[in-house]
Amino acid sequence: MASMSARLRPANLGSTISRLLTYMGHARHSLMVVAVLVIISAVANLAGTYMIRPIVNGLATGSHELLVAQVGLTALIYAAGALSALGYSQIMVRAAQKVVFDIRRDLFAHIQRLPLSFFDQTRTGDIMSYFTNDVDTVSEALNNSFANMVQAAIQMVGLTVLLVVLDWRITLITLVCDAIIVWYARFASKKSKQAFGSQQAMLGELDGYIEEMTSGQKVVKVYNREAANLAGFDKHNISLEASGASAIAFAASMVPVTVCIGYVNYALVAVVGGILAVRGMADVGAIASYLVFVRQAAQPINQFTQLGNFLLNALAGAERLFAAMDLEPEIDAGKVRIEQVGKGLWAWRIPDGYGVGAWGKVLPVVSGCQAADGTELACKTIPLSGDVRLHAVDFGYVANRPVLKGLDLVAHPGQKIAFVGSTGAGKTTITNLISRFYDVDSGEITFDGIDVREIAKADLRWALGMVLQDTHLFSGTIADNIRFGKLDATDEEVRAAARDACADSFIRRLPQGYDTPVTGDGANLSQGQRQLIAIARVAVADPPVLILDEATSSIDTRTEKLIERGMDRIMRGRTTFIIAHRLSTVRDADAIMVLDQGRIVERGTHEELLALHGEYWALCRGLKELD
């Protein structure tokens, strides 16, 4: 899948604006107040300027009392406008933050629903760019542009009307000059819009590069790649500089051009208006007021051009945000759910009338069934026992490039199944399919006789516990990270899980024990300690099926021996899938599957496979590489 940052400009400008307006509707009450105050401010500005006409004409008549009243009225008008401007600016800030809050919330919620393939194929920097660069540009535009754009629109309409009222003949000159300004603004905006979209894309690429190089600093320093990384950074930075310069060049030209045309317009109006006043064809007050309006006529157009920069940038960012929200979420047609049928007893609940599933498989409908301990279960339920089977499974991450080919596998409840084989043999892919991070291309995977595609993903994954080779710890305390496996776990449950994983002893030796903060994805802990916490996390979750993807790969041999008893306690009574690079880890497995190029070439116990003198025998003797 192509990176979202590759999109240079809104594919549908109207749709982007429409969706942005929909979010603005979430703060409609505040925006209505803003609109009223903006109208008052704009009308006050126009009315205050128009008052120049009666004041100037009043000076000519010498009526001082009338002059004082007119000046006082003008002051009140400007005061109302100033207070309204202060009011809408403060309300707009809060309304804009509400809109951005909703966008950011919906974006995060949607990204969490995207399939794992999105995260496999999209750089972390590009994803972070949505929440930083793109959201920030939308926020900046709403804070600085919305109210001012409304005010500028009112002023443009009001100015045009008042200019015609004051003198329609001179207004023809102003309209011609304004038409030239509008034409150039549209031309420059078109060019600038493309450049701003490119700038956002380049910024996302630069952020992604920085994130990769920063997180991999240890590797960078080991291989002395600082100079090469700087060269790569310069390449991305130069591209960003070029796109940014192009965007700003067109955007920045709009203001000087507008000002220049405005000066020409003012000079022409002053000359023609003076001639009309001398000839008695216009009153002096009207010309004085007109000249001020002409100076102001360019102001709303200037605002449009200046605010256009923010809006163009914001629309480019908003398009990327909405495109991310439009990505197809993880498909979940499963209707089978988990329900608790007794203390520590769980079962699959099949909805009424759900005889034939979405995938065409007839589901087993059980009445009056019993759990293993004889407990009576509700009608149309199947005990959750951990029987996992793969039937003729074919799968490939890319079309026409299969990773697994016709795979058959049976894991009875409580069995320990180990996968060994070289890199790319398909070991991790099997566990990805069992967890439904990906769906099979053909064949099926069943859990207690139910096609996993019939089971709601949240319930399926609740029944699975996974410890990955690359551990990930979250900000918080060690106890919080263990409790991530079961959010309502008590302190005693957390400690019991840590004891099962043989993590309790090292945790208690830390300065703050279980309340020790975890920083930088566990940078203050050793790799082995992080792995033990991950094992404790799955222990507290207490799932019926375990997937251990090199769970002890980062633990030294002494520590590995130490935790064998704890791992045995965790795996006891649970169906367990083990991906192993150390053959010592799989010796006591109930069945060992040797994979080669997506097929199971050997299967059996450790002793049975050694007796075959085949692939497994060669791996154990070190005659073949195991990863």
Task: Please tell me the predicted confidence (pLDDT) of residue 360.
Answer: 46
Task: Please tell me the predicted confidence (pLDDT) of residue 302.
Answer: 67
* Strands across the sheet containing 442-447: 404-411, 388-395, 442-447, 450-451
| CA–CA distance, 569 with 566 (Å, rounded to integer) | 5
| CA–CA distance, 448 with 438 (Å, rounded to integer) | 19
| Of the ranges 294-308, 364-378, 405-419, the best mean pLDDT one | 405-419
* Domains, the chain: 13-208+241-325 (1.20.1560.10), 335-384 (no CATH), 428-620 (3.40.50.300)
| CA–CA distance, 245 with 348 (Å, rounded to integer) | 60
Query: Could you give the count of Cα atoms lying within 13 Å of 391 in the half-sphere of its Cβ?
Result: 11
CA 296 vs. chain centroid, Å, equals: 43
Question: In the chain, pLDDT over 90 holds for what percent of residues?
Answer: 12
Which tens digits make up the pLDDT trace of 468-500? Answer: 777 788 888 999 999 988 888 999 999 999 988
| Average of per-residue pLDDT across 355-366 | 47
Query: Residue 284 pLDDT more than 80?
Result: no
Picking from 26-35, 93-102, 579-588, which range would have the lowest pLDDT averaged per residue? Answer: 579-588
Task: Please tell me the predicted confidence (pLDDT) of residue 334.
Answer: 82
Which tens digits make up the pLDDT trace of 429-476? Answer: 998 899 998 999 999 999 988 899 888 888 999 898 888 777 788 888
**Residue type at position 173:** I
> In which residue are the tokens 């050694």 written?
610
Token digits for 103? 């966008």
Task: Please tell me the predicted confidence (pLDDT) of residue 507.
Answer: 92
Could you tell me which residue, 352 or 314, shows the higher pLDDT? Answer: 314
| CA–CA distance, 28 with 618 (Å, rounded to integer) | 71
DSSP-assigned letters across all residues of 131-190: IIIIHHHHHHHHHHTHHHHHHHHHHHHHHHHHHHHH-HHHHHHHHHHHHHHHHHHHHHHH
Query: Could you give the count of Cα atoms lying within 13 Å of 458 in the half-sphere of its Cβ?
Result: 5
The contacts of residue 430 (CB under 8 Å, 6+ apart) are 390, 404, 407, 409, 419, 577
Burial of 245 from C-beta contacts in 10 A (0-12 / 13-18 / 19+):
exposed
| CA–CA distance, 625 with 421 (Å, rounded to integer) | 9
Could you tell me which residue, 271 or 566, shows the higher pLDDT? Answer: 271
| Secondary structure, 3-state, 235-247 | HHHHHHHHHHHHH
CA 289 vs. chain centroid, Å, equals: 53
Q: Please, what is the end-to-end C-alpha distance for the chain in angstroms?
A: 28
Query: Could you give the count of Cα atoms lying within 13 Å of 159 in the half-sphere of its Cβ?
Result: 24
| Average of per-residue pLDDT across 236-242 | 84
Task: Please tell me the predicted confidence (pLDDT) of residue 218.
Answer: 61
Query: Residue 547 pLDDT more than 70?
Result: yes
Task: Please tell me the predicted confidence (pLDDT) of residue 293.
Answer: 72
| Average of per-residue pLDDT across 551-579 | 72
Task: Please tell me the predicted confidence (pLDDT) of residue 11.
Answer: 56
Task: Please tell me the predicted confidence (pLDDT) of residue 108.
Answer: 92
Judge whether 615 and 422 are in contact, CB under 8 Å. no
Which tens digits make up the pLDDT trace of 198-220? Answer: 777 788 788 778 877 877 776 67
The contacts of residue 402 (CB under 8 Å, 6+ apart) are 394, 395, 396, 441, 598
- Could you tell me the pLDDT band of residue 60, with boundaries at 50, 70 and 90? low
